[in-house]
Amino acid sequence: MLKEFKEFAMRGSVVDMAVGIILGAAFGKIVTSLVNDILMPPVGLLLGKVDFSNLFVDLSEHHYASLAAARKAGAAVIAYGSFLNSVISFVIVAFAVFLLVRQINRLKERSEALPAAAPTPTKECPYCFSTISAKATRCPQCTSVVPAG
């Protein structure tokens, strides 16, 4: 069972997936910082100095000055500002992935459109019968001098 797991874990697709997940997590942190620290403050300023991350609906009978205060008190709240930040983060990540996949597809189409390289002409060594380049004057396998033609 351990041997099977090792074979599974060392497959190329599993390793590629692991690398993708790690890079995705790091990219997600960058996008979250972009949204929270760069995009939302100017948008909040334009909308009347609103801090989106602090927007919430208090479901209790008390009034709290901030989302942090409501959460500290254990009040039931709907934190729709944090949800808006998450939606914007998702849209940015989805758009970035779309651009990446689009570019990969374009590169794939270009490489498929290129004509295939002509195969290198070969001949057989008359001494060891291995396949060698038609231009070879000496066999790389048996080192015999190969007659031209």
**pLDDT tens sequence across 100-122:** 889 888 888 887 777 777 778 88
Q: What percent of the chain has pLDDT over 70?
A: 94
Q: What is the pLDDT of residue 12?
A: 65
Q: What is the pTM of this model?
A: 0.53
pLDDT the model gives residue 4: 81
Confidence of residue 31 (pLDDT cuts 50, 70, 90): confident
* 2-114, CATH topology level: 1.10.1200
How many Å apart are CA 123 and CA 143, to the nearest integer? 15
Whether 74 has a pLDDT exceeding 70, the answer reads yes
User: Which of 112, 139, 137, 136 lies closest to 128, judged by CA?
Assistant: 139
Q: Which two tokens stand for residue 100?
A: 């990446």
Looking at the chain, the domain(s) classified CATH 1.10.1200.120 span 2-114
